[in-house]
Structure 1
C-alpha cells in the first residue's frame, strides 16, 4: 500500500493533469477564430509578417493555421485564372509557367522566418532543459553523498543550500521530471531519517512548512470562492508549484492538510469546467444561428434582375444579414472555418453577380453616350454648313432632339457634359436660324401678342378658379404651337406663362399632385431648351431636390431608430404616433421629389 506521502505525490500528479486539461480547454475556446476568408492578400501578408515579432507561439500558431489555407486558396485561384487566360489566348497547358507575385513571395518568406525563429526558440528551450537536468542530477548526487556521509554540525546548512539551489533551477525534459522529483523527495526524507540527532531541528522545519502550506490552503480556499476565470486557474497553478516545493510537514498533519488543499482545488476546477461547458453550449447555439444565416445568404446567389433598384434592395438585405452575422458570438473552433467559408462564399457570389450586372449596365450607357455623341456631331455639322437650308435643317434638328429623348441614360460622369454639348449646338443652330430671319420679326411680335393673350386667359381662369380642364389644355397646346417671340421678350413672357400655370395648378382640384408636378416640370424643361438661364435654374432645382432627398433619407432613418427606444408607457405611444406621422410625411415628400426628378429626365 502507498504511504501518505506517496499518495500525496500521486494525487498531485492527477491534479496537475486536471490543471493542464483545464488550461488546454481554455486555450481551445479562447483561441482566435477570426474569419480571414474575405481578407485580401495584402492583409494576410501583413498578418504573416507580424508573426515574426510575436513571442506568444500558441497565439501565433493559431493565426498561421487559419491564414495560410486562405492565402493558399487565393494563390491557387489566381494561378487557375492565369492558366484559363493563357489557354483562352491560344496557349497550351503544358507550356504554362506561373510566376508568383510579390505578395506571395513576401508571405512565403514571412512564414519561413517565423518557423525558423520558432524552431530556434524550441531548440534553445530544449538545450536549457537538458542543462537544468544535468544541474539537478548533480545536485541529487551531492544530496546522496550528504545523506550517506557522517552527521556533522554543517549537515543541515549543506542541505538547506541544496534545497535553495534546487528551487532556482528551471524546467527539465518532461520524461525526467517525475522520476527526478521522486528521487529528490526520497533523499530528503532519508536524510532526516538518518539524523536522529537533529530530530528537533527536523520537527521545527516541518512545523515551519506546516505554516507555509496552511497559508497556501487559505489562498486556495479564497480562489474557490471567487468567480472562475483564466486568472484564477493561473493563480491556482502557482499555488500548486509553491505547495510542491515546500518541504514535509508533521506526519499527523500531512493527510488532513493535503485533503484541505485538494478540496479547494477541486472546487475551482469543477466550477471552471462547468463554466466552459456552458460556453461550449453557447458556441453550439451560435453555430446553429450562423448555419441559418448561411442558408439565407445562399438564397441570394441565384438572384437576378434588370433593375438597379432591385439590386440595391437585395444588397441592403444581404448587408443586414452581415450585421446579424457579426453580432453572433464565437463558434466551436473545429467548425468555424467551414461555416465562415460557407457564408462568405455566398456573400462574394452575390456581389460578383451584381458587379457583372453593373458592367453590362455601364456598357449599355457607354453605347448611349456614343449615340448621343453622334447626334451632337450631326447638329454641329448642320450648324457649320453654309449651304444647308435652315428651315429644312431646323426640322432635322428637331428630329434629332426627339431622337435624343428616345436614347437611354449615359454614364453619370458624362451626363451633364454631353447634354451641355448637344444643347449648346442646338441653341447655336436656332440662334443662327433666328439671326437670318429678320423678315419674321413681325411674326414674332404677333406670337408675342398671342402668348400674352394666352397668359391672360390662364391668369383669368386661375383668378376665377375655373375648372374647365379642356379649355386649360387647349391653351397649353396653343402655347406650344405658337412660334418664337422677339428675343427681348423671351424671358418675361416665359416667366409670366410659368407663373400663370403655377397659380392655376395651385387652385385646381381636378388634378392630382402627380399630374400637377408633371405639368409644371414639363413647362420648366420646355423652357430650358431655348433658355440657358432656365436650363441652369432647372439644374439647380434638380440639385436642391437631390440634396433634400438625402436629408429626408437621413431623417427617416434617425426617426425610425429613435422609435425603437420608446417604451410602452402612455407618453411613449404619443411620441411614437408623432414620429410615425413625421416619417409618413417625409416619405411622401421623398416620393414626390423622386417623381419630379424622373419627370425631368423623361421630358429632356
Structure 2
C-alpha cells in the first residue's frame, strides 16, 4: 500500500486529500481467483493457445503460475525418463535429453503473449499521456471560467460538461496523478465559489453530490459483510474513484460525509491488510518448510553410500521429500523461483551421483563376472582329474579365491555359482568314492594301535619278569600296523611315545642295576687271573667310555643344525634325542663299571 492508503487507514486524510489518491496506488493482486490445477503439460499449452487465440490479456499471476507448473511437470517427466534409462542398465555418459515438443510450443506461445503485453503496455502509456493532456486542457478551461461570477454563471452548463468529460477520461501517468487532482479540485472549488450569485444552481449541485456520496458511503459500509475480502477491496477502489469524481457538498457537511466514508473504507482496508499479512505469513512459513527440505536433500547429497541398497534407500527418501514439497504452497514471490532452483539443484546432484555410482558398480560387476567365469572354467577343467592330492589342493585354492571376489548381479551370480559348485562337487564326490576303502582300513588300523597302547599302559602298572620281552613284542606289533586317519596321527603318536618312554625308563633302571651287580660278581673271577687282567678290562671300558662321549658330542652338534618347523623335522629331533639319552645312560653304566674295578684294585 502507498502513503495515501496508509494515511486513509489511520484517519489522516481529509476529503480533499482523498481526491488526490489514485486507484493505481493500491498494491493488491489483480485477481483473487484460485489458480487452476493443471495435471499435464498439454493442458497448460492448450490454455496458452486459448489466450493467444482469443487475444486475452492475462494477469502476471496467471502467467507465473502457468510457467512454474509447466516446468515442474517438465522436470519431473525428464527425471523419470532418466531414472528409467539408468535402471534398465543405460550408460549415464551416453544419455541424451530428447527434444520436447510441448516445451517448444510453450515457449512459442509464451513469446507471443509477452510481445502482446509489451505492445499493450506501450499503448497504455501512450493513452495515459493523451489523457493527461486532455485533463490539463480541462483544468485550464475551468480555470478561465472561474475568473469572475459572471463567467461562472454564464459557463455553468459547459462546466458540468467538462466534469463529465473528466470522469470519462481514464488513467493518467501515476507520477502526474496527484498533482493533476490537486489542480483540478482547486479550480473546481474556485468555480463553485464564483457561483454565489446563482445560489439555487449551486445548492442543487451540493444536494445532488450529497445524495451520490451518501449512496457511496452506504455501498462502502455494505462491503464490510462481503465474504470475499479481495473482491470487497476492489469494489472499494471503484467507490473511491466515484467519490473522487463527485463534486463537493455543502461546507458544513463535508467533514461529516467524509468521516463516514473514511470509516467504512478503514474497515475494508484493515480486512484487506490482515488478509495479505496472513497470506504473507503463510508464504514465509512455506519458505521455511521448503528451506528445511532443501537442507535435508543437501545433507543426503553429502553422505557416502557404498552399496546399491544404500542408494535405493536414499532414493526413496528423496522421492518422499519431493512428494512433501508438492504439498506445500508458494513461497514469497521474490524467493519462490530461487528456492525451487535450490531444491532442484540438490535433487539433480543426488541423482547424478547415483548414476555415477551405478555406472562404476556395473563396471565392477563385469570385472567380477569375468573373474568368477575364469574360476568356473578352471574348476570344470579339473573336475575329471584322478590326481586326488594335487587336484584337491587346487580345488580348495579356487574355492578360497572365489570368496575374495566381490558381488555380481544375483541372477548371473546364481548361474555362475551353480556351475562352480557342480564342478567342485563332481571332483570331491569321485575322490571320496575312491578313498572310501582306504578310510575304512585306516580306521581299523587306528583301533589296532589304540589296543596296543592300552596293553602297554597295563604293563606299566604291574611287575613282570619278562617285561622287556613283552614290551618289545608289542612295539614290533605296533610297527607292523599301517596308516591311521590323518587327523588322528599326531595325537596317537604322542600317546604311544609317552607310555613307551615311561616303560623304557623303568626297564633301564631295573636292568642296569642287575647288570652292574653281575659285573661286580664277575670281577672276582677276573681278579684271580691277576692285577693285569683288571687293568686290561679297565682300559677297555675307558676306551668305550671315550667313544660314547665322542658319539654324544657328534649327535648334539647335529641337533643344532636341524629345523623343527615341520612335523617331519620334529620327529627326527625326538628320535636323535632318544639316542643321545640312551648313550648317556650307557656311558653312566660304563662309568660305574670303572668305579667297581677301581674299588676291587684297592
Q: Which range, TM-score by smaller chain?
A: 0.3 to 0.5
Larger radius of gyration: 2
The alignment's TM-score, normalised by the length of structure 1, stands at: 0.47
